Amino acid sequence: MTRAGAAVWMLAMVLAVWSPVALAADNHSAPPPVHLPLRHGPAHPGSALSAGAPQGYIPCDVQRAYHMDLLHASQTTGANQLIAIVDAFDNPNAAADLHAFDAAFGLPDPAFQVSNLGATPGSAINNSWDHEIDLDVQWAHAMAPGAGIALVEVADSNIATLVAGAVFAVNTLGADVVSMSWGTAGEFFSETSLDASLAPTSQIGKPVMYVASAGDLGFGTAWPAASPNVLSVGGTSLAPSTLGYDTQQSHFNCSGMSASAGMNSQNETVWGSPACTSSSCPGTGGGTSSVEPKPQWQLGFGTPGGRSMPDMAMLADPSTGVAVFTNGAWSPYQWGGTSLAAPLWAGVIAMLNQQRHANNLNNLNISPSSFWAYQLAPVNDVVSGASPGHSGDVCQTTAVCTAAPGYDQVTGRGSPLGSVSWQPLGGSISSAPDAASPAPGRLDVFARGPGNALWTRTLTGGQWGAWQSLGGSLTSAPGAVAWSGRRLDVFVRGSDASLWHRWWDGNAWSGWESLGGALSSGPAATSWAEGRLDVFARGTDNALWHRWWAGTSWSSWESQGGSLATEPGAVSWGPNRIDVFAKATDNQLSHRWWDGQRWNGWDSFGGLPSSGPAVASGTAGQLDVFSLTANGRVQHRAYAGRWGDWLALSGQWPSAPAAVSQQNGTVDVFEQGSDGQLWHTTIPSPML
């Protein structure tokens, strides 16, 4: 075992190691033994261990690093999914350890079951399978806290016994996802006969996903990760910025994050040891199988010849490892290996399945027609680092064990980039939407629809009402605002290029009112007090123009200057405060604000948007800004005392987003889909 400050890495069991293999797989006539997770000493060897405290990163660290907190905030937690953890021997403490882990970090206890398939009671204790079981169970649950967990304990660590446990999990327990944090040291001639056991559907026809670790001793293939029927998972390392510079010392929450967490192609790298000088090097497995043929769904990826692995990757480096509660206490080690990456990905699959079920789609699986893993978006493409199997491994010279843009044989397509799920709200809209929230629990959404009229749909009592036409002849997207629970105001550019206005007084909609002007964009509207309205639009001179209502009459039009390339977005976070954003002609997002006495700015805000912005505020001193990127993704930046980084939401969209806060700690985001429907999602606010 490797303790703090030691220079040598070691697996948890001498008899259960990954053996290093050359570029061509070291094939055997019989299955070699299986592996167990690497572990690493505490992050700060000179410091005393905190008694009864976790060592390493904790669930909120990893959730935020991969933006899984976005999924959780939108109620995507793996609900109604069953993740099976298949391991050898019996850990009688698994349930109690999981409960303690959950209690420490505020996670809900899952529906948890244990199926012992002949394992001697207590046989996992002190042979390191106890730690494997706790690692797998606790971290699959940390990723998908709404999923059920089924622990399947088999009698021994023979590969055939473990595979039988996976079959039991699928056909007897009804598992949706099976996590397999074990594998053979190299490949073997008869492995193809076992592939059929990992069938893509259960006996009753339900699609099932098998997730397998790629290995922990550098470049080389192994089974079941090389099976064409599984999702093979490699390993990565996370830089401190990925985790918001949170500490690896004992902690129970993520309040120590001092910067925006989140991985990208610069701060997530291959887990490997490029400078390794020993006969075996810790790092992710990978390579091309000399036993398994390349499946149809992998054509065009990897090297010519056999099945390439891995398919995807996730955190595995023990030096950026995680905390585990095991045998009634916190382990003094932080844990990693692809034994961690596999259950993390199992949790991700459970959440993706939940999203698919919401859209009447089946579970994900790996089948001859499954190209999804290579088309999956969003993912973080890992582009740096290498994982040789041994000193002088030629894989670094040939670059096959080195990360590269696109698919590579150490991280596959990359790691998961959590994002919110979008809900279709129907309709046939032909403009970007806008939205207002008169009160918590109510949303009113507006867009141009059939006949170029203004159309609206309302959410009240948790139910969306039918689409309703408000007439008019629109040549832009609308701008909407609510100044109270019984007042809505909507503004549009009419067919005469002037500003038109219609409002709801709590009982009925008014007629259309012309407010004049010569607009070259759609309007944006905000209100900083009851009876106050501020409307903004781009003029024919590309400047920002402003008109306001102070309770009795409309002001004249006033120029705010600037050089705008799009419609503006505006919001008020309190009395006498207005923030206006727009894409400028230099392709940067620009910001101007009213502080109650004067206008300030314009300030360059960056972002390189391809659309006009949307902006929302849930409370004083807080902003959420959205726009499209060049590839049609919604990007988001939040302010709450400091500006966070730009973060991307899922999907690709043809028009600018809309955003509104119900002042409940979330922001509702709307988009026009390429199918003409209105789409909706919710994210936490602020998200820094």
What is the pLDDT, as a whole number, of residue 44? 44
What is the pLDDT, as a whole number, of residue 6? 22
What is the pLDDT, as a whole number, of residue 373? 60
Lowest mean pLDDT among 2-11, 255-264, 497-506: 2-11
What is the pLDDT, as a whole number, of residue 244? 80
305-355 confidence digits (pLDDT tens): 899 999 999 999 999 999 999 999 999 999 999 999 999 999 999 999 998
Query: Is the per-residue pLDDT at 45 higher than 60?
Result: no
CATH code, domain with 268? 3.40.50.200
Q: Determine, yes or no, domain membership for 643.
A: yes
What is the pLDDT, as a whole number, of residue 196? 95
The mean pLDDT value for 347-373 works out to: 83
Same domain, residue pair 352 and 440:
no
Is the distance from CB of 522 to CB of 474 less than 8 angstroms? Answer: no
DSSP-assigned beta bridge partners for residue 638: 624
- pTM of the predicted model as reported, rounded to 2 decimal places: 0.68
Is the distance from CB of 660 to CB of 443 less than 8 angstroms? Answer: yes
Continuous segment of H or E residues that includes residue 351: helix 338-358
Query: What is the C-alpha separation between 392 and 102, in angstroms, rounded?
Result: 44
| SS3 assignment, position 444 | strand
Phi and psi angles of residue 133, each rounded to the nearest 5 degrees, phi first: -60, -45
Domain residue limits at 65: 27-416
Packing angle of the helix pair 338-358, 129-143 (nearest 10 deg): 30
Same domain, residue pair 658 and 560:
yes
CATH code, domain with 494? 2.120.10.70
**Higher pLDDT residue, 245 or 188?**
188
Could you tell me the strand order of the sheet in which 499-504 lies? 479-484, 487-493, 499-504, 513-516
Q: Determine, yes or no, domain membership for 529.
A: yes
Lowest mean pLDDT among 147-161, 540-554, 568-582, 673-687: 673-687
Query: Is the per-residue pLDDT at 16 higher than 50?
Result: no
Q: Which domain-ending residue is among 387, 416, 445?
A: 416
Report which of 81, 78, 86 is spatially closest to residue 133, judged by C-alpha positions: 86
The mean pLDDT value for 40-52 works out to: 52
Q: Determine, yes or no, domain membership for 534.
A: yes
**Higher pLDDT residue, 248 or 212?**
212
Same domain, residue pair 390 and 497:
no
| Token pair recorded at residue 80 | 């109604």
Beta-strand pair 454-460/468-469: antiparallel
What is the pLDDT, as a whole number, of residue 375? 52
Query: What is the C-alpha separation between 94 and 134, in angstroms, rounded?
Result: 6
Is the distance from CB of 97 to CB of 54 less than 8 angstroms? Answer: no
Continuous segment of H or E residues that includes residue 72: helix 68-73
Lowest mean pLDDT among 21-25, 43-47, 359-363, 549-553: 21-25
Query: What is the C-alpha separation between 290 and 472, in angstroms, rounded?
Result: 67
Q: Determine, yes or no, domain membership for 18.
A: no
Number of domains in the chain: 2
Which CA distances in Å does 259 have to 249, 381, 666? 17, 22, 20
Which CA distances in Å does 198 have to 152, 192, 222, 365? 15, 11, 15, 11
Same domain, residue pair 384 and 441:
no
Continuous segment of H or E residues that includes residue 94: helix 94-105
Q: How many of the other CB atoms lie within 10 Å of CB of 14?
A: 7
Continuous segment of H or E residues that includes residue 84: strand 82-88
Query: Is the per-residue pLDDT at 47 higher than 50?
Result: no
What is the pLDDT, as a whole number, of residue 3? 23
Same domain, residue pair 116 and 219:
yes
462-517 confidence digits (pLDDT tens): 889 999 999 999 999 999 999 999 999 999 999 999 999 999 999 999 999 999 99
Same domain, residue pair 464 and 399:
no
Query: What is the C-alpha separation between 271 and 337, in angstroms, rounded?
Result: 9
21 pLDDT tier (thresholds 50, 70, 90): very low
70 pLDDT tier (thresholds 50, 70, 90): confident
| Token pair recorded at residue 680 | 């909706």
Amino acid at position 685, single letter: S
Please calculate the CA angle 493-497-503 and round it to the nearest 5 degrees: 30
Residue with tokens 């026809």: 205
pLDDT-above-70 percentage for the chain: 90
Amino acid at position 294, single letter: K
Query: What is the C-alpha separation between 168 and 179, in angstroms, rounded?
Result: 13
DSSP codes joined into one string, 568-592: -EEEEEETTEEEEEEEBTTSSEEEE
Query: What is the C-alpha separation between 346 and 232, in angstroms, rounded?
Result: 11
- Does the CA dihedral 129-134-139-140 come out positive or negative? positive
Q: Is 220 left (phi over 0), alpha (psi -120 to 50) or beta?
A: left
72 pLDDT tier (thresholds 50, 70, 90): confident
Same domain, residue pair 329 and 386:
yes
What is the pLDDT, as a whole number, of residue 41? 64
Q: Which domain-ending residue is among 363, 397, 416?
A: 416
Supply the DSSP symbol for 298: G
What is the pLDDT, as a whole number, of residue 465? 96
Q: Determine, yes or no, domain membership for 19.
A: no
296 pLDDT tier (thresholds 50, 70, 90): confident
25 pLDDT tier (thresholds 50, 70, 90): very low
Kindly give, in sequence order, each residue whose CB lies less than 8 Å from that of residue 554, ignoring residues fewer than 6 positions away.
Answer: 515, 547, 548
Phi and psi angles of residue 611, each rounded to the nearest 5 degrees, phi first: -145, 175
Q: Determine, yes or no, domain membership for 10.
A: no
Residue with tokens 């009402």: 465
Query: Is the per-residue pLDDT at 137 higher than 80?
Result: yes
| Token pair recorded at residue 603 | 């300030």
Residue with tokens 């670790």: 213
What is the pLDDT, as a whole number, of residue 256? 79
For the chain, what is the mean pLDDT?
88
Q: Determine, yes or no, domain membership for 248.
A: yes
The mean pLDDT value for 533-543 works out to: 98
Same domain, residue pair 585 and 659:
yes
Q: Determine, yes or no, domain membership for 194.
A: yes
Which CA distances in Å does 560 have to 249, 534, 566, 574, 592? 51, 13, 15, 21, 9
Query: Is the per-residue pLDDT at 421 higher than 90?
Result: no
DSSP codes joined into one string, 538-569: EBTTS-EEEEEE-SS-BPPPEEEE--BSS--E
| Token pair recorded at residue 482 | 């609510």
Query: What is the C-alpha separation between 582 and 591, in angstroms, rounded?
Result: 7
What is the pLDDT, as a whole number, of residue 12? 29
36 pLDDT tier (thresholds 50, 70, 90): low
Please calculate the CA angle 475-480-483 and round it to the nearest 5 degrees: 155
pLDDT-above-90 percentage for the chain: 69
Query: Is the per-residue pLDDT at 189 higher than 80?
Result: yes
Q: Which domain-ending residue is among 370, 390, 416?
A: 416
Beta-strand pair 148-154/112-117: parallel
Same domain, residue pair 179 and 137:
yes
**Higher pLDDT residue, 285 or 25?**
285
Same domain, residue pair 63 and 212:
yes
Lowest mean pLDDT among 97-111, 143-157, 464-478, 644-658: 644-658
Same domain, residue pair 230 and 280:
yes
What is the pLDDT, as a whole number, of residue 423? 81
Same domain, residue pair 393 and 460:
no
